[in-house]
Amino acid sequence: MVDSDPRSTDQPGAGGGGDAPEEIPLGQRLLDNWVFLLISCLVIFFVFYTGWGLVEITSLSDAPLP
C-alpha cells in the first residue's frame, strides 16, 4: 500500500520526523487571519477618511453671503 501522507517523506525538515514544528512568522499569522484583515481595513478606512474630511472642513474659507 502506498503511503499518501505528504508529511512522511525522507527529506530533512519536511515535517516527517520528530523535529519541532517551524514557528510561523508573525506577519504570516496576521495576514492569514481574515478577521484581523477586515477590522484593520475598516479602521484604516475610518481613520484616513475621517482625518481627510476634518482637514477639508477646517481648511474651508467662509462662504460669502449675498
DSSP calls for 22-63: PPPPHHHHHHT-HHHHHHHHHHHHHHHHHHHHHHHHHTPPPP
- pLDDT for 63: 86
pLDDT of residue 60 exceeding 80, the answer is yes
- CA atoms of 20 and 26, how far apart (whole Å): 18
- pLDDT for 54: 95
- pLDDT for 56: 94
- pLDDT for 10: 56
- pLDDT for 18: 65
Express each pLDDT in 4-40 by its tens digit: 655 555 555 555 566 788 999 999 998 999 999 999 9
